[in-house]
Structure 1
């Protein structure tokens, strides 16, 4: 679990904080009071590069009373011009109550089907799951190494641990499809083969008729 050190702040000085290299934020949840915080911009960038939206984060708040909460990254408000984070919301869930959360999907491995000219089609970039916060995975990793052309990975094929996927078992997550050009070539080859078989059959029938005469 990644730990983020922050400081408690007085609401209302957000603009000054941004000018001095900090990002204002807030942490809230069903069992805690909403608390305004200050995060170092550099620390926030490191956090973003090491977590996903379903990663549980240890938020250590330095203030009149030091506190720690396990939180999820809830909302990030970005500057439309600089694309820098302007404000961040963290959510502290009830540890004893299950919640719904989307877990990102990542594919790994060199896919056999791609080597054969296929295209890896990821139909879900994230999977909604239901469970306790401590059991929610940060990432669902799918090894696609053994997938040949036409093969798929379905929800039922994935180990979700102690959380339940909120998709039907038969739902396809990733599949290897043939590109249109390859499909067209295969169709043309099939038509050609059928045509050759038809010509051969006609020739055979003609020879049989001639022999009978």
Structure 2
């Protein structure tokens, strides 16, 4: 589903210093690529992209692409400055709504496991799984209730039950979460 729209502006090839000026003006250099549009250099408002990433980083966006009209796109990659964590570049992938796509779905764990209440330790191994589906079936997140897990229990990728039309590509034997026994710490003996 197209959850929101985003405005992209045409961008010429710019030098590094010109790109930095753009960023200071609140615009992020970006590129849109896909079968219908090829590869187009654009800019996007930093405010708009931050808002989208906060709401749903895997949302299908209705993008106004210069000289190509409105097209469905997905945020494919976000590059950030390692020191400031500010966004420096965004890659958008233009979707064909009639062809299945591969993507990642975030797993949200809900509920407090019985095993944790009994003194066990919750260990999350995977926070997302790779799936294949039609773009309109793509989930931003999948909620999994783990309140029934006891000490020694675990949940595998194969235990997930997505709705029809979503094929899980991640290894079925990969562990998502487990409840481990809490190990009592041995007393430290300090020599006298």
Q: CA deviation at 1:172?
A: 3.1
1:111–1:133 Cα change, 3 Å: same
Whether 1:134 and 2:139 are equivalent positions in the alignment is no
CA separation of 1:26/1:167 partners in 2, compared to 1, >3 Å: closer, same or farther? closer
TM-score, structure 1 length as denominator?
Answer: 0.75
Structure 2 regions of 5+ residues with no counterpart?
187-192
TM-score (norm 2): 0.82
Look up the SS of the partner of 2:151 in the other structure. Answer: coil
**Is this contact kept in 2: 1:151–1:175, CA < 8 A?**
yes
Match of 2:53 in 1: 48
Query: What runs of 5+ residues in structure 1 fail to find an aligned partner?
Result: 185-213
Q: Which has the larger radius of gyration?
A: 1
User: In the alignment, what sits opposite 1:110?
Assistant: 112
Bigger proportion of residues as strand: 2
What value does the CA root-mean-square deviation take over the aligned residues?
2.2
- Distance in 2, matches of 1:138 and 1:93, equals 16
Contact 2:60 2:72 in 1 (8 A): yes
Q: For residue 66 of structure 1, report the CA deviation from its aligned partner.
A: 6.5
Deviation at 1:171, TM superposition (A): 4.0
Q: Does structure 2 conserve the Cα–Cα contact (< 8 Å) formed by 1:56 and 1:138?
A: no
Q: CA offsets per residue over residues 66-85 of structure 1, 9 Å max, x none?
A: 62222221121212222100
Q: Which of 55, 62, 70 is matched with 1:58 structurally?
A: 62
Q: In structure 2, the residue corresponding to 1:120 is in which secondary structure?
A: strand
Q: Which residue of 1 aligns with 2:19?
A: 14
Q: How many angstroms apart in 1 are the aligned matches of 2:10 and 2:143?
A: 36
Pick from 148, 165, 169 the counterpart of residue 166 of structure 1: 169
Corresponding position: 1:122 with 2:124: yes
* Larger helix fraction of residues: 1
**Among 174, 178, 183, the residue aligned to 1:175:** 178
Distance in 2 between residues matched to 1:164 and 1:125, nearest whole Å: 17
